[in-house]
C-alpha cells in the first residue's frame, strides 16, 4: 500500500524541536517499485486522494510533512492527520518523448515529494547536471523547501522554487498536473500520472510556493543546469561602512576585490556581530563559479566552508551573560566560522552539491529574517544591528544577496534582494529584539518581507499588505484549484488560518 498508518494517535515534534503536534495521527506515503515514475505517481496520487476523503469524513485536518525541517510552526497542526512523505523519494529521468516541443528533457528530472534537496542534487550530479541555488543546508525535502520559499543565495538567482517546472498536487476534488500556460510535459505523460492538466500561469506561480495550503504536492518536475565548480573563499575581515554602499549598488566585484579575490563573485555572505559590526571582524564568504572539469581534488563540505551551527554551542552563555554578548559572539565567530579557505590558502573546489551540509537538530533554535530591497541596505543595515543589539539579540546577523524569486508569495520579491537573517539560540530577549527590528523598519518606511519557515510574526493583514496584488492572485488561484471552502479548510491550521492562507 502506498499509505500506511504509523502507530496510534500521539505527539509529533519537528526536526529542530521548536514545535509539537498534539493528538496527531501519523501516516506514511511510501514509494513503490514501478519502473516508470508516471505509473508510480498514478498509484500514489489516487491513494492520497482516498486518504484526504477519509480525513474529511473523520473530521480531521491534514498536514503534509517532509523532513519536518521548518523551525516555524507552519507545519504544526494538532488533532490532525499528518502525512509523512520522507519515504516517497524516488527521482526519475525524463525522456524526449515526455515533453512538449522545444523543451529540453535532459535538463529536467521527475522528483517525488519526499526527496531531500541532497538526494535531488546527488541524482542530478550523477547525470552531469546541477541545481543552481539552494539554502544553507540540504536536509529539507525539495518540495518542503520550495513550499516555504527557502531563499537561495546566488547573486543572480532567486529561490529554490525557481527550479520547478511542473507540479502534481492532490486535493479532495482531484489529481491535478499544474504547469505554466505554455506547457512543459506531453498530454500523454500527464494522463499516465493519473492527473488532469491545468496549464495556468497564476496557478503554477501559486504552487511554486504554496506554504502547505494548496493540497498535497506529490511530485515536481525540477530544472537544472550543466554541472559547475565553485571556489570558496572564507575569512574574518573588518568591513568598512563604505562597503555597504558598494553592496547596495550591486558592485560585488569591488567588494570582492577589497576582501577576497579581484573577480566577480557569484555568492557573497557577510556574518556580523551586531555589537559594533564595523569595529569587530565580520565572517565573509565568497563563491566563485568556474567551468566544470573532472580532474579537481574533491573536498569535504567542511573544507569548502559549509556549516552554520557553531553558535548553538554558546547558546546558554549568550543568554545568561548579557553584558558579555558582544565578546562571546565574536569568540564564537572566530571559533566556528573561520575554518574555510582564505585567499592565500591553496585553492579548493567543489560542485554546488558538495558545498552543502546538513544541520544537526538545533534545540532551542531561534530563526528569523527580513528581506529588503538591496537599494535600502546602506540606510537599513547598521540601524538593524544597532536596534537588535540594544534590545538583547543573542545571535549573529547574516547578510546574503539574491535576485527576485519566482512564486506569488516569494519573500524575495524585489528586483534585487538583501536577505538579513537572525539565526541562533532561542531566548525571550532575542525574540523581543527581533520584534523591535520589525517595528523600526516599519517606522522608517523601509519595506520588507519575512521567511515563511522562520519566526515570521505575521498575521493575515500583514501578509495582504506585504504581498498586495500577488496575494490576491494567490488566493484567486487557490479558489480555482479548490472551489469548495470545506476542501480549503481541510489544509488549514491555527497558524495558516491566521495568515489568511486557508480561509
Whole-prediction pTM: 0.93
> 274 and 193 in one domain?
no
> 23 and 67 in one domain?
yes
Q: Kindly report the three-state secondary structure assignment for every residue of 353-364.
A: HHHCECCCCCCC
Q: E strands of 383-476, at which residues?
A: 397-403, 416-425, 448-449
For residue 72, tell me if it sits in a domain. Answer: yes
What is the band of 144 on the pLDDT scale with cuts at 50, 70, 90?
Answer: very high
Q: In total, how many domains does the chain have?
A: 2
**Contact of 151 with 451, CB cutoff 8 Å:** yes
CATH number of the domain at 272, please: 3.40.462.10
pLDDT of 76 reads 86
Please work out, in degrees rounded to the nearest 5, the angle formed at the alpha carbon of residue 152 by the alpha carbons of 217 and 496: 45
For residue 470, tell me if it sits in a domain. Answer: no
Asked whether the predicted pLDDT for residue 50 surpasses 70, the reply is yes
> 293 and 192 in one domain?
no
> pLDDT tens digits, residue range 166-192?
999 999 999 999 999 999 999 999 999
Q: What is the overall mean pLDDT for the chain? A: 90
Distance (Å, whole) CA 241 – CA 239 = 7
Q: Kindly report the three-state secondary structure assignment for every residue of 227-244.
A: CEEEEEEEEEECCCCHHH
Of the candidate ranges 158-172, 323-337, 373-387, the one whose mean pLDDT is the lowest? 323-337
> 272 and 220 in one domain?
no
Per the structure, the complete domain to which residue 134 belongs is given by 3-226+475-498
C-alpha separations of 5 from 8, 26, 48, 58, 90 in Å = 8, 6, 13, 15, 20
Of the candidate ranges 181-190, 193-202, 320-329, the one whose mean pLDDT is the lowest? 320-329
Better-predicted residue by pLDDT, 418 or 325: 418
Distance (Å, whole) CA 172 – CA 490 = 9
> 146 and 17 in one domain?
yes
> 445 and 297 in one domain?
yes
For residue 462, tell me if it sits in a domain. Answer: no
Closest CA to 481 of 174, 218, 57: 174
CATH number of the domain at 214, please: 3.30.465.10
Task: Output phi, psi for 192, to 5 deg.
Answer: -70, -20
> Would you say how long the chain is, in residues?
503
> 300 and 394 in one domain?
yes
Helix (H, G, I), strand (E, B) or coil at 196: strand
Distance (Å, whole) CA 122 – CA 125 = 5
> 212 and 169 in one domain?
yes
**Contact of 142 with 453, CB cutoff 8 Å:** no
Largest CA distance in the chain: 66
Amino acid at each position: 500500500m502506498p499509505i500506511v498508518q504509523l502507530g496510534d494517535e500521539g505527539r509529533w515534534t519537528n526536526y529542530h524541536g521548536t514545535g509539537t503536534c498534539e493528538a496527531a495521527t501519523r501516516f506514511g506515503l511510501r514509494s513503490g517499485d514501478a519502473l516508470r515514475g508516471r505509473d508510480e505517481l498514478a498509484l500514489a496520487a489516487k491513494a492520497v486522494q482516498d486518504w484526504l476523503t477519509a480525513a474529511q469524513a473523520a473530521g480531521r485536518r491534514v498536514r503534509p510533512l517532509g523532513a519536518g525541517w521548518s523551525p516555524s510552526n507552519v507545519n504544526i497542526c494538532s488533532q490532525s492527520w499528518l502525512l509523512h512523505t520522507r519515504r516517497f523519494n524516488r527521482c526519475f529521468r525524463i525522456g524526449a518523448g515526455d515533453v512538449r516541443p522545444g523543451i529540453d528533457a535532459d535538463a529536467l528530472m521527475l522528483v517525488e515529494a519526499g526527496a531531500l534537496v541532497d538526494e535531488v542534487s546527488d541524482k542530478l550530479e550523477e547525470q552531469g547536471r546541477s541545481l543552481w541555488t539552494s539554502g544553507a543546508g540540504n536536509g529539507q525535502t525539495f518540495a518542503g523547501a520550495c513550499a516555504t520559499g527557502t531563499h537561495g543565495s546566488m547573486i543572480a538567482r532567486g529561490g529554490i522554487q525557481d527550479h520547478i517546472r511542473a507540479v502534481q498536487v492532490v486535493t479532495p476534488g482531484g489529481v491535478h498536473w499544474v504547469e505554466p500556460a505554455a506547457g512543459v510535459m506531453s498530454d500523454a505523460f500527464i494522463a499516465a500520472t493519473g492527473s488532469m492538466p491545468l496549464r495556468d500561469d497564476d496557478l503554477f506561480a501559486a504552487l511554486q510556493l504554496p506554504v502547505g495550503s494548496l493540497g498535497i504536492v506529490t511530485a515536481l518536475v525540477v530544472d537544472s543546469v550543466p554541472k559547475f565548480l565553485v571556489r570558496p573563499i572564507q575569512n574574518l575581515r573588518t568591513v568598512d561602512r563604505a562597503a555597504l554602499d558598494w553592496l547596495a549598488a550591486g558592485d560585488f566585484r569591488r567588494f570582492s576585490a577589497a576582501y577576497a579575490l579581484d573577480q566577480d563573485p557569484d555568492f557573497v555572505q557577510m556574518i556580523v556581530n551586531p555589537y559594533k559590526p564595523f569595529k569587530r571582524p565580520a565572517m565573509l564568504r565568497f563563491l566563485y563559479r568556474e567551468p566544470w572539469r573532472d580532474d579537481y581534488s574533491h573536498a569535504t563540505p567542511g573544507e569548502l566552508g559549509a556549516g552554520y551551527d557553531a553558535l548553538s554551542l554558546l547558546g546558554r552563555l549568550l543568554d545568561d551573560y548579557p553584558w558579555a554578548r558582544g565578546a562571546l559572539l565574536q569568540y564564537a565567530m572566530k571559533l566556528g566560522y573561520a575554518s574555510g579557505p582564505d585567499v592565500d590558502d591553496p585553492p579548493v573546489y567543489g560542485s554546488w552539491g558538495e558545498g552543502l551540509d546538513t544541520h544537526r537538530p538545533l534545540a532551542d533554535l531561534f530563526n528569523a529574517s527580513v528581506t529588503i530591497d538591496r537599494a535600502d541596505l546602506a540606510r537599513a543595515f547598521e540601524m538593524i544591528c544597532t536596534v537588535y543589539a540594544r534590545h538583547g539579540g543573542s545571535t549573529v546577523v547574516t547578510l546574503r544577496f539574491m535576485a527576485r524569486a519566482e512564486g506569488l508569495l516569494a519573500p524575495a520579491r524585489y528586483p534585487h534582494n538583501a536577505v538579513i537573517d537572525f539565526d541562533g539560540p532561542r531566548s525571550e530577549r532575542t525574540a523581543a529584539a527581533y520584534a523591535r527590528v520589525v517595528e523600526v523598519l516599519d517606522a522608517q518606511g523601509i519595506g520588507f518581507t519575512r521567511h515563511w519557515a522562520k519566526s515570521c510574526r505575521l498575521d493575515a493583514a500583514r501578509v495582504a499588505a506585504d504581498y498586495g496584488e500577488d496575494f490576491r492572485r494567490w488566493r484567486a488561484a487557490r479558489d480555482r484549484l479548490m472551489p469548495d471552502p470545506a476542501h480549503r479548510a481541510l489544509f488549514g491550521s491555527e497558524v495558516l488560518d491566521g495568515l489568511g492562507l486557508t480561509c
